[in-house]
Structure 1
Amino acid sequence: MNLQEYISSGIIESYVLGLASDEERQEFEQLCGQHPELVQARDAFERQLEQQALSNAIPPPPAIKAKVWAETGLESETKHSPVVRMGWMKYAVAASLVLLAGSLFWNLNLQKQNQGIQKDLASAREELNSARRSLAAMEADASVLQKPGMKMAALNGMDASPASYATVYWDTTSKDVYLMVNNLPQPPTDKQYQLWAIINGQPVDIGVLSMSQKPLQLYRMRNTQHAQAFAITLETMGGNPVPKGEMYVMGKL
Protein backbone atom coordinates (compact mmCIF):
# COMPACT_ATOMS: atom_id res chain seq x y z
CA MET A 1 0.00 0.00 0.00
CA ASN A 2 1.30 3.43 -0.98
CA LEU A 3 0.62 5.51 2.13
CA GLN A 4 1.27 8.85 0.42
CA GLU A 5 -1.24 8.08 -2.33
CA TYR A 6 -3.76 7.04 0.33
CA ILE A 7 -3.29 10.35 2.17
CA SER A 8 -3.55 12.30 -1.10
CA SER A 9 -6.80 10.53 -2.03
CA GLY A 10 -8.82 12.84 0.23
CA ILE A 11 -9.70 10.17 2.80
CA ILE A 12 -8.46 12.32 5.71
CA GLU A 13 -10.69 15.22 4.73
CA SER A 14 -13.65 12.88 4.19
CA TYR A 15 -13.09 11.24 7.57
CA VAL A 16 -12.77 14.48 9.55
CA LEU A 17 -15.76 16.07 7.81
CA GLY A 18 -17.92 12.98 8.33
CA LEU A 19 -18.25 12.32 4.59
CA ALA A 20 -16.58 8.90 4.60
CA SER A 21 -18.67 5.74 4.33
CA ASP A 22 -18.74 3.26 7.21
CA GLU A 23 -16.35 0.99 5.34
CA GLU A 24 -13.93 3.85 4.61
CA ARG A 25 -14.13 5.10 8.21
CA GLN A 26 -13.39 1.64 9.67
CA GLU A 27 -10.50 1.12 7.27
CA PHE A 28 -9.06 4.56 8.10
CA GLU A 29 -9.26 3.98 11.86
CA GLN A 30 -7.60 0.59 11.48
CA LEU A 31 -4.78 2.06 9.39
CA CYS A 32 -4.29 4.89 11.91
CA GLY A 33 -3.37 2.25 14.47
CA GLN A 34 -0.71 0.94 12.10
CA HIS A 35 0.67 4.15 10.61
CA PRO A 36 1.49 7.15 12.86
CA GLU A 37 1.82 9.27 9.73
CA LEU A 38 -1.94 8.99 9.20
CA VAL A 39 -2.64 10.19 12.73
CA GLN A 40 -0.29 13.15 12.22
CA ALA A 41 -1.96 14.05 8.94
CA ARG A 42 -5.41 13.82 10.54
CA ASP A 43 -4.39 16.00 13.49
CA ALA A 44 -2.79 18.53 11.15
CA PHE A 45 -6.00 18.84 9.15
CA GLU A 46 -8.08 19.26 12.32
CA ARG A 47 -5.71 22.00 13.55
CA GLN A 48 -5.96 23.69 10.18
CA LEU A 49 -9.75 23.81 10.49
CA GLU A 50 -9.53 25.15 14.02
CA GLN A 51 -7.06 27.87 13.01
CA GLN A 52 -9.33 28.84 10.15
CA ALA A 53 -12.23 29.22 12.57
CA LEU A 54 -10.13 31.30 14.97
CA SER A 55 -8.87 33.55 12.20
CA ASN A 56 -12.46 34.42 11.32
CA ALA A 57 -13.32 35.50 14.91
CA ILE A 58 -13.95 39.25 15.34
CA PRO A 59 -12.52 40.81 18.59
CA PRO A 60 -14.87 43.17 20.53
CA PRO A 61 -14.10 46.93 20.56
CA PRO A 62 -11.99 48.14 23.58
CA ALA A 63 -14.86 50.30 24.97
CA ILE A 64 -17.17 47.28 25.15
CA LYS A 65 -14.47 45.21 26.82
CA ALA A 66 -13.92 47.93 29.51
CA LYS A 67 -17.66 48.16 30.20
CA VAL A 68 -17.89 44.40 30.67
CA TRP A 69 -15.03 44.44 33.19
CA ALA A 70 -16.64 47.34 35.11
CA GLU A 71 -20.13 45.86 35.31
CA THR A 72 -18.99 42.38 36.30
CA GLY A 73 -16.59 43.67 38.93
CA LEU A 74 -13.88 41.40 37.59
CA GLU A 75 -10.31 42.45 37.30
CA SER A 76 -8.96 43.55 33.99
CA GLU A 77 -7.80 40.97 31.52
CA THR A 78 -4.20 41.51 32.57
CA LYS A 79 -4.67 38.71 35.07
CA HIS A 80 -5.62 35.59 33.23
CA SER A 81 -6.91 32.32 34.43
CA PRO A 82 -5.83 29.29 32.41
CA VAL A 83 -7.14 29.48 28.88
CA VAL A 84 -10.23 27.36 28.32
CA ARG A 85 -11.77 26.91 24.89
CA MET A 86 -15.28 28.32 24.95
CA GLY A 87 -18.35 26.69 23.47
CA TRP A 88 -18.56 29.19 20.65
CA MET A 89 -15.41 27.72 19.19
CA LYS A 90 -17.19 24.44 18.61
CA TYR A 91 -19.84 26.26 16.64
CA ALA A 92 -17.21 28.16 14.69
CA VAL A 93 -15.39 24.95 13.87
CA ALA A 94 -18.69 23.30 12.92
CA ALA A 95 -19.50 26.22 10.63
CA SER A 96 -16.08 25.93 9.03
CA LEU A 97 -16.65 22.21 8.53
CA VAL A 98 -19.97 22.89 6.83
CA LEU A 99 -18.38 25.47 4.55
CA LEU A 100 -15.51 23.15 3.71
CA ALA A 101 -17.89 20.25 3.07
CA GLY A 102 -19.90 22.48 0.75
CA SER A 103 -16.73 23.51 -1.04
CA LEU A 104 -15.70 19.88 -1.50
CA PHE A 105 -19.16 18.97 -2.78
CA TRP A 106 -19.07 21.90 -5.21
CA ASN A 107 -15.64 20.90 -6.51
CA LEU A 108 -16.72 17.27 -6.94
CA ASN A 109 -19.85 18.41 -8.76
CA LEU A 110 -17.79 20.62 -11.07
CA GLN A 111 -15.43 17.71 -11.71
CA LYS A 112 -18.34 15.46 -12.70
CA GLN A 113 -19.74 18.18 -14.96
CA ASN A 114 -16.32 18.60 -16.56
CA GLN A 115 -16.10 14.85 -17.17
CA GLY A 116 -19.51 14.95 -18.83
CA ILE A 117 -18.45 17.88 -21.01
CA GLN A 118 -15.26 16.06 -22.01
CA LYS A 119 -17.29 12.98 -22.95
CA ASP A 120 -19.74 15.06 -25.01
CA LEU A 121 -16.82 16.83 -26.67
CA ALA A 122 -15.20 13.51 -27.61
CA SER A 123 -18.50 12.30 -29.05
CA ALA A 124 -18.91 15.51 -31.05
CA ARG A 125 -15.34 15.17 -32.38
CA GLU A 126 -16.08 11.61 -33.51
CA GLU A 127 -19.29 12.71 -35.23
CA LEU A 128 -17.40 15.52 -36.96
CA ASN A 129 -14.65 13.14 -38.12
CA SER A 130 -17.29 10.70 -39.38
CA ALA A 131 -19.00 13.51 -41.32
CA ARG A 132 -15.64 14.54 -42.80
CA ARG A 133 -14.95 10.96 -43.90
CA SER A 134 -18.40 10.72 -45.48
CA LEU A 135 -17.89 14.03 -47.26
CA ALA A 136 -14.48 12.92 -48.56
CA ALA A 137 -16.01 9.66 -49.85
CA MET A 138 -18.82 11.57 -51.57
CA GLU A 139 -16.33 13.95 -53.20
CA ALA A 140 -14.28 10.98 -54.43
CA ASP A 141 -17.43 9.35 -55.81
CA ALA A 142 -18.43 12.58 -57.55
CA SER A 143 -15.03 12.82 -59.25
CA VAL A 144 -15.45 9.24 -60.52
CA LEU A 145 -18.91 9.88 -61.93
CA GLN A 146 -17.72 13.02 -63.75
CA LYS A 147 -15.12 11.15 -65.78
CA PRO A 148 -15.54 11.37 -69.56
CA GLY A 149 -16.89 8.20 -71.15
CA MET A 150 -18.84 7.10 -68.06
CA LYS A 151 -22.03 5.18 -68.89
CA MET A 152 -24.88 4.49 -66.48
CA ALA A 153 -27.23 1.51 -66.16
CA ALA A 154 -30.31 1.78 -63.94
CA LEU A 155 -31.03 -1.58 -62.27
CA ASN A 156 -34.74 -1.84 -61.43
CA GLY A 157 -36.41 -4.18 -58.94
CA MET A 158 -37.54 -7.64 -60.06
CA ASP A 159 -40.34 -9.88 -58.72
CA ALA A 160 -38.29 -10.88 -55.65
CA SER A 161 -38.06 -7.23 -54.55
CA PRO A 162 -39.93 -4.72 -56.75
CA ALA A 163 -38.88 -1.74 -54.58
CA SER A 164 -35.16 -2.50 -54.94
CA TYR A 165 -33.01 -0.22 -57.06
CA ALA A 166 -29.31 0.14 -57.87
CA THR A 167 -27.13 1.97 -60.37
CA VAL A 168 -24.06 0.72 -62.27
CA TYR A 169 -21.48 3.15 -63.69
CA TRP A 170 -19.16 1.73 -66.35
CA ASP A 171 -16.03 3.56 -67.48
CA THR A 172 -15.79 2.83 -71.21
CA THR A 173 -12.11 3.84 -71.21
CA SER A 174 -10.69 1.95 -68.22
CA LYS A 175 -13.52 -0.65 -68.14
CA ASP A 176 -13.86 0.00 -64.38
CA VAL A 177 -17.26 -0.83 -62.88
CA TYR A 178 -18.82 1.06 -59.95
CA LEU A 179 -22.05 0.14 -58.18
CA MET A 180 -24.30 2.44 -56.16
CA VAL A 181 -26.87 0.71 -53.94
CA ASN A 182 -29.91 2.96 -53.93
CA ASN A 183 -32.28 0.54 -52.20
CA LEU A 184 -31.61 -3.10 -51.37
CA PRO A 185 -32.98 -4.96 -48.34
CA GLN A 186 -30.44 -6.03 -45.73
CA PRO A 187 -29.50 -9.64 -46.60
CA PRO A 188 -29.63 -12.51 -44.07
CA THR A 189 -26.37 -13.16 -42.22
CA ASP A 190 -25.63 -16.25 -44.35
CA LYS A 191 -26.39 -14.53 -47.67
CA GLN A 192 -24.64 -11.94 -49.83
CA TYR A 193 -25.53 -9.90 -52.89
CA GLN A 194 -23.54 -10.62 -56.05
CA LEU A 195 -23.21 -8.42 -59.15
CA TRP A 196 -23.22 -9.95 -62.62
CA ALA A 197 -22.29 -8.50 -66.00
CA ILE A 198 -24.44 -9.92 -68.78
CA ILE A 199 -22.17 -10.53 -71.79
CA ASN A 200 -23.67 -12.16 -74.88
CA GLY A 201 -26.55 -13.43 -72.75
CA GLN A 202 -24.28 -15.07 -70.14
CA PRO A 203 -23.79 -13.85 -66.53
CA VAL A 204 -20.19 -13.11 -65.54
CA ASP A 205 -19.29 -12.65 -61.87
CA ILE A 206 -17.83 -9.21 -61.15
CA GLY A 207 -17.93 -9.27 -57.34
CA VAL A 208 -19.95 -9.60 -54.15
CA LEU A 209 -21.21 -6.77 -51.95
CA SER A 210 -20.16 -6.38 -48.32
CA MET A 211 -23.00 -3.88 -47.66
CA SER A 212 -20.48 -1.92 -45.59
CA GLN A 213 -20.86 1.27 -47.58
CA LYS A 214 -23.36 3.92 -46.64
CA PRO A 215 -26.36 4.43 -48.97
CA LEU A 216 -25.51 6.15 -52.25
CA GLN A 217 -21.76 5.49 -51.91
CA LEU A 218 -19.91 3.63 -54.63
CA TYR A 219 -18.62 0.06 -54.56
CA ARG A 220 -15.62 -0.58 -56.77
CA MET A 221 -16.30 -3.85 -58.64
CA ARG A 222 -14.16 -5.90 -61.03
CA ASN A 223 -13.50 -4.67 -64.57
CA THR A 224 -15.56 -6.06 -67.40
CA GLN A 225 -15.54 -5.86 -71.19
CA HIS A 226 -18.48 -5.41 -73.56
CA ALA A 227 -21.27 -5.81 -70.99
CA GLN A 228 -24.79 -5.31 -72.33
CA ALA A 229 -26.56 -5.41 -68.93
CA PHE A 230 -26.03 -5.93 -65.21
CA ALA A 231 -27.96 -7.83 -62.53
CA ILE A 232 -27.78 -8.49 -58.79
CA THR A 233 -28.78 -11.78 -57.17
CA LEU A 234 -28.86 -12.95 -53.56
CA GLU A 235 -26.35 -15.78 -53.13
CA THR A 236 -24.73 -17.77 -50.35
CA MET A 237 -21.96 -16.00 -48.43
CA GLY A 238 -18.88 -15.63 -50.62
CA GLY A 239 -20.81 -15.82 -53.88
CA ASN A 240 -21.16 -18.49 -56.56
CA PRO A 241 -19.50 -19.01 -59.95
CA VAL A 242 -22.96 -18.96 -61.57
CA PRO A 243 -26.14 -17.34 -60.21
CA LYS A 244 -28.28 -19.67 -58.09
CA GLY A 245 -30.30 -17.24 -55.97
CA GLU A 246 -33.17 -14.94 -56.76
CA MET A 247 -32.57 -11.89 -58.94
CA TYR A 248 -33.30 -8.62 -57.14
CA VAL A 249 -32.46 -5.99 -59.78
CA MET A 250 -31.49 -5.86 -63.45
CA GLY A 251 -30.89 -3.18 -66.07
CA LYS A 252 -29.45 -2.67 -69.52
CA LEU A 253 -26.45 -0.48 -70.21
Structure 2
Amino acid sequence: MANEQSHNEHFEELCSGYVLNALDEDERAEFEEMLAEATDEQLRLYQALWSTANQLAFTIERNEPSETLKSRILAQIQADSESSSDEATVTSIDDQKTAEDQDRSFNWSAFSTAASFALLIVSLSLLFYSFNLSSEIDRKETVIGNQETKITELTNELERKEEMLAILESRDVDMVLMSGLEVNPDGYGKVIWDSEKQQALLQVANLPPVPTGKDYQLWLIRDNQPVSAGIFAVNDSSRDNFFKIEEMAQASEQSANAFAITMEPKGGVPQPTGDMYLLGNMTPDNSN
Protein backbone atom coordinates (compact mmCIF):
# COMPACT_ATOMS: atom_id res chain seq x y z
CA MET A 1 0.00 0.00 0.00
CA ALA A 2 2.98 2.28 0.68
CA ASN A 3 4.19 1.83 -2.91
CA GLU A 4 0.71 2.61 -4.22
CA GLN A 5 0.53 5.80 -2.12
CA SER A 6 4.00 6.88 -3.28
CA HIS A 7 2.99 6.25 -6.89
CA ASN A 8 -0.17 8.35 -6.44
CA GLU A 9 1.81 11.21 -4.88
CA HIS A 10 4.34 11.18 -7.73
CA PHE A 11 1.47 11.15 -10.24
CA GLU A 12 -0.11 14.19 -8.52
CA GLU A 13 3.18 16.12 -8.55
CA LEU A 14 3.79 15.50 -12.25
CA CYS A 15 0.11 16.13 -13.05
CA SER A 16 0.16 19.66 -11.60
CA GLY A 17 3.35 20.49 -13.51
CA TYR A 18 1.93 18.99 -16.69
CA VAL A 19 -1.25 21.09 -16.73
CA LEU A 20 0.87 24.20 -15.97
CA ASN A 21 3.32 23.31 -18.76
CA ALA A 22 6.14 23.38 -16.22
CA LEU A 23 7.75 19.96 -16.85
CA ASP A 24 10.93 19.34 -18.76
CA GLU A 25 10.97 16.92 -21.68
CA ASP A 26 11.87 13.84 -19.60
CA GLU A 27 9.29 14.57 -16.91
CA ARG A 28 6.63 15.21 -19.53
CA ALA A 29 7.38 11.86 -21.22
CA GLU A 30 7.31 10.09 -17.85
CA PHE A 31 3.93 11.60 -16.96
CA GLU A 32 2.40 10.70 -20.33
CA GLU A 33 3.46 7.07 -19.77
CA MET A 34 1.87 7.13 -16.31
CA LEU A 35 -1.26 8.74 -17.76
CA ALA A 36 -1.62 5.89 -20.27
CA GLU A 37 -1.85 3.42 -17.35
CA ALA A 38 -3.67 5.70 -14.89
CA THR A 39 -6.43 4.43 -12.60
CA ASP A 40 -9.95 5.86 -12.74
CA GLU A 41 -9.22 8.07 -9.69
CA GLN A 42 -6.02 9.40 -11.29
CA LEU A 43 -7.83 10.13 -14.56
CA ARG A 44 -10.53 12.05 -12.65
CA LEU A 45 -7.80 14.08 -10.91
CA TYR A 46 -6.07 14.83 -14.23
CA GLN A 47 -9.33 15.96 -15.84
CA ALA A 48 -10.20 18.14 -12.84
CA LEU A 49 -6.77 19.83 -12.83
CA TRP A 50 -6.82 20.33 -16.60
CA SER A 51 -10.31 21.87 -16.41
CA THR A 52 -9.25 24.19 -13.55
CA ALA A 53 -6.15 25.35 -15.44
CA ASN A 54 -8.19 26.06 -18.59
CA GLN A 55 -10.82 28.01 -16.68
CA LEU A 56 -8.22 30.13 -14.90
CA ALA A 57 -6.48 30.84 -18.20
CA PHE A 58 -9.62 32.63 -19.38
CA THR A 59 -9.72 34.81 -16.27
CA ILE A 60 -6.55 36.74 -17.35
CA GLU A 61 -7.74 39.82 -19.17
CA ARG A 62 -5.77 41.25 -22.08
CA ASN A 63 -4.91 44.95 -21.61
CA GLU A 64 -5.53 47.03 -24.74
CA PRO A 65 -4.20 50.63 -24.98
CA SER A 66 -6.75 53.18 -23.80
CA GLU A 67 -8.34 55.64 -26.21
CA THR A 68 -6.51 58.48 -24.45
CA LEU A 69 -3.20 56.78 -25.08
CA LYS A 70 -4.06 56.25 -28.72
CA SER A 71 -4.99 59.93 -29.12
CA ARG A 72 -1.72 61.01 -27.58
CA ILE A 73 0.26 58.77 -29.92
CA LEU A 74 -1.57 60.25 -32.94
CA ALA A 75 -1.00 63.76 -31.64
CA GLN A 76 2.68 62.98 -31.23
CA ILE A 77 2.91 61.82 -34.85
CA GLN A 78 1.16 64.99 -36.05
CA ALA A 79 3.40 67.20 -33.93
CA ASP A 80 6.50 65.53 -35.39
CA SER A 81 5.43 66.56 -38.86
CA GLU A 82 4.71 70.21 -37.91
CA SER A 83 7.72 71.35 -35.95
CA SER A 84 11.18 69.97 -35.44
CA SER A 85 11.87 72.44 -32.63
CA ASP A 86 8.84 71.38 -30.68
CA GLU A 87 9.67 67.75 -31.30
CA ALA A 88 12.02 67.42 -28.39
CA THR A 89 9.58 69.02 -25.94
CA VAL A 90 6.51 67.27 -27.20
CA THR A 91 8.33 64.02 -27.50
CA SER A 92 9.72 64.41 -24.02
CA ILE A 93 6.32 65.17 -22.51
CA ASP A 94 4.37 62.62 -24.53
CA ASP A 95 7.07 59.99 -24.20
CA GLN A 96 7.07 60.49 -20.49
CA LYS A 97 3.28 60.17 -20.33
CA THR A 98 3.31 57.20 -22.73
CA ALA A 99 6.00 55.51 -20.67
CA GLU A 100 4.00 56.10 -17.51
CA ASP A 101 0.86 54.67 -19.14
CA GLN A 102 2.82 51.68 -20.40
CA ASP A 103 4.38 51.17 -16.98
CA ARG A 104 0.93 51.24 -15.41
CA SER A 105 -0.39 48.83 -18.05
CA PHE A 106 2.60 46.54 -17.65
CA ASN A 107 2.43 46.58 -13.88
CA TRP A 108 -1.29 45.84 -13.92
CA SER A 109 -0.83 43.01 -16.41
CA ALA A 110 2.02 41.53 -14.38
CA PHE A 111 -0.05 41.81 -11.20
CA SER A 112 -3.04 40.14 -12.86
CA THR A 113 -0.88 37.32 -14.18
CA ALA A 114 0.78 36.78 -10.80
CA ALA A 115 -2.56 36.85 -8.99
CA SER A 116 -4.09 34.39 -11.43
CA PHE A 117 -1.10 32.08 -11.09
CA ALA A 118 -1.31 32.28 -7.30
CA LEU A 119 -5.03 31.51 -7.47
CA LEU A 120 -4.28 28.52 -9.68
CA ILE A 121 -1.71 27.22 -7.20
CA VAL A 122 -4.17 27.64 -4.30
CA SER A 123 -6.94 25.95 -6.29
CA LEU A 124 -4.69 23.05 -7.22
CA SER A 125 -3.55 22.68 -3.60
CA LEU A 126 -7.15 22.60 -2.37
CA LEU A 127 -8.06 20.13 -5.10
CA PHE A 128 -5.14 17.88 -4.16
CA TYR A 129 -6.14 18.04 -0.49
CA SER A 130 -9.79 17.28 -1.27
CA PHE A 131 -8.83 14.39 -3.57
CA ASN A 132 -6.45 12.85 -1.03
CA LEU A 133 -8.93 13.32 1.81
CA SER A 134 -11.72 11.69 -0.21
CA SER A 135 -9.48 8.76 -1.15
CA GLU A 136 -8.38 8.29 2.45
CA ILE A 137 -11.99 8.34 3.68
CA ASP A 138 -12.97 5.76 1.05
CA ARG A 139 -10.07 3.51 2.07
CA LYS A 140 -10.94 3.74 5.77
CA GLU A 141 -14.63 3.08 5.10
CA THR A 142 -13.66 -0.02 3.12
CA VAL A 143 -11.42 -1.23 5.96
CA ILE A 144 -14.16 -0.58 8.53
CA GLY A 145 -16.71 -2.40 6.37
CA ASN A 146 -14.42 -5.42 6.02
CA GLN A 147 -13.73 -5.46 9.75
CA GLU A 148 -17.46 -5.26 10.58
CA THR A 149 -18.15 -8.18 8.22
CA LYS A 150 -15.35 -10.20 9.83
CA ILE A 151 -16.65 -9.41 13.32
CA THR A 152 -20.15 -10.54 12.31
CA GLU A 153 -18.78 -13.79 10.88
CA LEU A 154 -16.71 -14.47 14.02
CA THR A 155 -19.69 -13.66 16.27
CA ASN A 156 -21.93 -16.07 14.36
CA GLU A 157 -19.22 -18.74 14.46
CA LEU A 158 -18.78 -18.27 18.21
CA GLU A 159 -22.53 -18.56 18.83
CA ARG A 160 -22.68 -21.75 16.72
CA LYS A 161 -19.76 -23.30 18.61
CA GLU A 162 -21.31 -22.37 21.96
CA GLU A 163 -24.54 -24.07 20.93
CA MET A 164 -22.61 -27.18 19.86
CA LEU A 165 -20.65 -27.16 23.11
CA ALA A 166 -23.87 -27.02 25.09
CA ILE A 167 -25.01 -30.21 23.37
CA LEU A 168 -21.67 -31.94 23.97
CA GLU A 169 -21.80 -31.00 27.66
CA SER A 170 -25.19 -32.63 28.16
CA ARG A 171 -25.06 -35.45 30.69
CA ASP A 172 -27.17 -37.89 28.72
CA VAL A 173 -26.30 -38.02 25.03
CA ASP A 174 -26.16 -40.80 22.46
CA MET A 175 -23.58 -40.94 19.68
CA VAL A 176 -24.51 -42.67 16.45
CA LEU A 177 -21.79 -43.38 13.90
CA MET A 178 -22.78 -43.33 10.22
CA SER A 179 -20.88 -45.04 7.42
CA GLY A 180 -20.83 -44.36 3.71
CA LEU A 181 -22.97 -46.50 1.41
CA GLU A 182 -22.45 -47.67 -2.15
CA VAL A 183 -23.06 -44.25 -3.72
CA ASN A 184 -20.37 -42.71 -1.47
CA PRO A 185 -18.34 -45.42 0.34
CA ASP A 186 -15.73 -43.00 1.75
CA GLY A 187 -18.34 -40.91 3.53
CA TYR A 188 -18.41 -40.64 7.30
CA GLY A 189 -20.85 -39.18 9.77
CA LYS A 190 -21.61 -38.83 13.44
CA VAL A 191 -24.76 -37.76 15.30
CA ILE A 192 -24.50 -36.65 18.92
CA TRP A 193 -28.07 -36.78 20.15
CA ASP A 194 -29.65 -35.52 23.36
CA SER A 195 -32.97 -37.36 23.30
CA GLU A 196 -34.18 -35.62 26.47
CA LYS A 197 -33.80 -32.09 25.07
CA GLN A 198 -34.39 -33.23 21.48
CA GLN A 199 -31.19 -31.59 20.30
CA ALA A 200 -28.53 -33.03 18.05
CA LEU A 201 -25.14 -32.19 16.55
CA LEU A 202 -24.26 -33.61 13.14
CA GLN A 203 -20.71 -34.11 11.87
CA VAL A 204 -20.09 -35.27 8.29
CA ALA A 205 -16.94 -35.83 6.24
CA ASN A 206 -16.13 -36.85 2.66
CA LEU A 207 -19.55 -35.89 1.37
CA PRO A 208 -19.45 -34.34 -2.13
CA PRO A 209 -20.67 -30.73 -2.44
CA VAL A 210 -24.35 -30.54 -3.27
CA PRO A 211 -25.17 -29.57 -6.88
CA THR A 212 -27.45 -26.66 -7.73
CA GLY A 213 -31.05 -27.32 -6.74
CA LYS A 214 -30.17 -30.03 -4.20
CA ASP A 215 -29.78 -30.38 -0.41
CA TYR A 216 -28.73 -33.15 1.94
CA GLN A 217 -31.52 -34.27 4.24
CA LEU A 218 -31.05 -35.98 7.62
CA TRP A 219 -33.60 -38.62 8.56
CA LEU A 220 -34.41 -40.14 11.95
CA ILE A 221 -35.74 -43.66 11.48
CA ARG A 222 -38.40 -43.86 14.22
CA ASP A 223 -40.41 -47.01 14.64
CA ASN A 224 -39.02 -48.06 11.26
CA GLN A 225 -40.44 -44.93 9.57
CA PRO A 226 -38.23 -42.07 8.23
CA VAL A 227 -38.90 -38.66 9.78
CA SER A 228 -37.12 -35.55 8.52
CA ALA A 229 -34.64 -34.06 10.98
CA GLY A 230 -33.49 -31.12 8.80
CA ILE A 231 -31.60 -30.19 5.65
CA PHE A 232 -28.04 -28.97 5.13
CA ALA A 233 -25.55 -28.30 2.35
CA VAL A 234 -21.87 -29.18 2.03
CA ASN A 235 -19.72 -26.70 0.10
CA ASP A 236 -16.26 -27.97 1.06
CA SER A 237 -15.65 -31.71 1.10
CA SER A 238 -11.98 -31.35 2.12
CA ARG A 239 -12.81 -30.80 5.80
CA ASP A 240 -15.29 -31.95 8.42
CA ASN A 241 -18.59 -30.09 8.43
CA PHE A 242 -20.64 -29.53 11.59
CA PHE A 243 -24.35 -28.72 11.79
CA LYS A 244 -26.72 -28.16 14.66
CA ILE A 245 -30.03 -29.95 14.17
CA GLU A 246 -32.51 -27.21 15.04
CA GLU A 247 -35.75 -29.23 15.12
CA MET A 248 -35.18 -32.81 16.07
CA ALA A 249 -38.12 -35.18 15.56
CA GLN A 250 -39.66 -36.37 18.81
CA ALA A 251 -38.27 -39.80 19.56
CA SER A 252 -37.05 -41.82 22.52
CA GLU A 253 -34.07 -44.12 22.63
CA GLN A 254 -36.46 -47.04 22.41
CA SER A 255 -38.34 -45.78 19.32
CA ALA A 256 -35.28 -44.52 17.41
CA ASN A 257 -33.85 -47.11 15.05
CA ALA A 258 -31.25 -45.24 12.94
CA PHE A 259 -30.09 -42.02 11.30
CA ALA A 260 -29.63 -41.68 7.53
CA ILE A 261 -28.66 -38.97 5.03
CA THR A 262 -30.02 -38.71 1.49
CA MET A 263 -29.68 -36.15 -1.29
CA GLU A 264 -33.03 -34.52 -2.08
CA PRO A 265 -34.47 -31.56 -4.03
CA LYS A 266 -33.59 -28.21 -2.48
CA GLY A 267 -35.69 -27.47 0.58
CA GLY A 268 -36.26 -31.14 1.44
CA VAL A 269 -39.13 -33.56 0.93
CA PRO A 270 -41.66 -35.25 3.27
CA GLN A 271 -40.29 -38.72 2.49
CA PRO A 272 -36.87 -39.76 1.13
CA THR A 273 -36.64 -40.10 -2.65
CA GLY A 274 -32.92 -39.72 -3.42
CA ASP A 275 -29.83 -41.84 -2.99
CA MET A 276 -28.77 -42.66 0.56
CA TYR A 277 -25.23 -41.46 1.34
CA LEU A 278 -24.81 -42.29 5.06
CA LEU A 279 -26.52 -44.69 7.47
CA GLY A 280 -26.01 -45.34 11.19
CA ASN A 281 -28.04 -47.80 13.27
CA MET A 282 -28.96 -47.28 16.92
CA THR A 283 -27.29 -50.26 18.54
CA PRO A 284 -25.49 -50.69 21.86
CA ASP A 285 -22.19 -50.33 20.00
CA ASN A 286 -23.21 -46.86 18.78
CA SER A 287 -24.55 -45.51 22.08
CA ASN A 288 -22.85 -43.94 25.09
Task: Quickly name the TM-score band, shorter chain normalised.
Answer: 0.5 to 0.7
Q: CA deviation at 1:223?
A: 2.6
What aligned pairs does 1:3-152 form with structure 2 within 5 A after superposition? 19=51, 83-84=104-105, 86=107, 87-89=109-111, 90-152=113-175
**Conserved in 2, the CA contact under 8 Å of 1:155 and 1:230?**
yes
Provide, for residues 192-231 of structure 1, a one-character-per-residue CA deviation record: whole Å limited to 9, x for no partner.
322222345x242133404399932312232323323211
| Paired residue secondary structure (2:274) | coil
CA distance in structure 1 between the aligned counterparts of 2:155 and 2:134, rounded to whole angstroms: 31
Unaligned 5+ residue runs, structure 2? 1-48, 61-99, 283-288
Name 1:247's counterpart in structure 2. 276
Q: CA deviation at 1:85?
A: 5.3
Name 1:211's counterpart in structure 2. 233
Go from structure 1 to structure 2 and tell me whether the alpha carbon gap of 1:191 and 1:129 turns closer, same or farther (over 3 Å shift).
closer
| Paired residue secondary structure (1:144) | helix
Q: Name the Cα RMSD after superposition.
A: 3.6
| Paired residue secondary structure (2:279) | strand
Q: CA deviation at 1:171?
A: 1.3
Structure 1 runs (4+) greater than 4 angstroms displaced: none
Larger mean CA deviation between 84-93 and 97-106 belongs to 84-93
Q: TM-score, normalised by structure 2?
A: 0.53
Q: CA deviation at 1:92?
A: 4.8
| Paired residue secondary structure (1:147) | coil
**Conserved in 2, the CA contact under 8 Å of 1:196 and 1:207?**
yes
Name 2:285's counterpart in structure 1. none
CA distance in structure 1 between the aligned counterparts of 2:257 and 2:132, rounded to whole angstroms: 68
Q: Which amino acid aligns with 2:182?
A: D
Go from structure 1 to structure 2 and tell me whether the alpha carbon gap of 1:98 and 1:144 turns closer, same or farther (over 3 Å shift).
same
Provide, for residues 59-84 of structure 1, a one-character-per-residue CA deviation record: whole Å limited to 9, x for no partner.
xxxxxxxxxxxxxxxxxxxxxx5644
CA distance in structure 1 between the aligned counterparts of 2:139 and 2:152, rounded to whole angstroms: 20
Name 1:222's counterpart in structure 2. 249
**Conserved in 2, the CA contact under 8 Å of 1:230 and 1:251?**
yes
Q: TM-score, normalised by structure 1?
A: 0.60
Go from structure 1 to structure 2 and tell me whether the alpha carbon gap of 1:180 and 1:134 turns closer, same or farther (over 3 Å shift).
same
**Conserved in 1, the CA contact under 8 Å of 2:195 and 2:251?**
no
**Conserved in 1, the CA contact under 8 Å of 2:208 and 2:234?**
no
| Paired residue secondary structure (2:242) | coil
Q: What is the total number of aligned residue pairs between the two structures?
A: 186
Unaligned 5+ residue runs, structure 1? 1-16, 26-42, 47-80
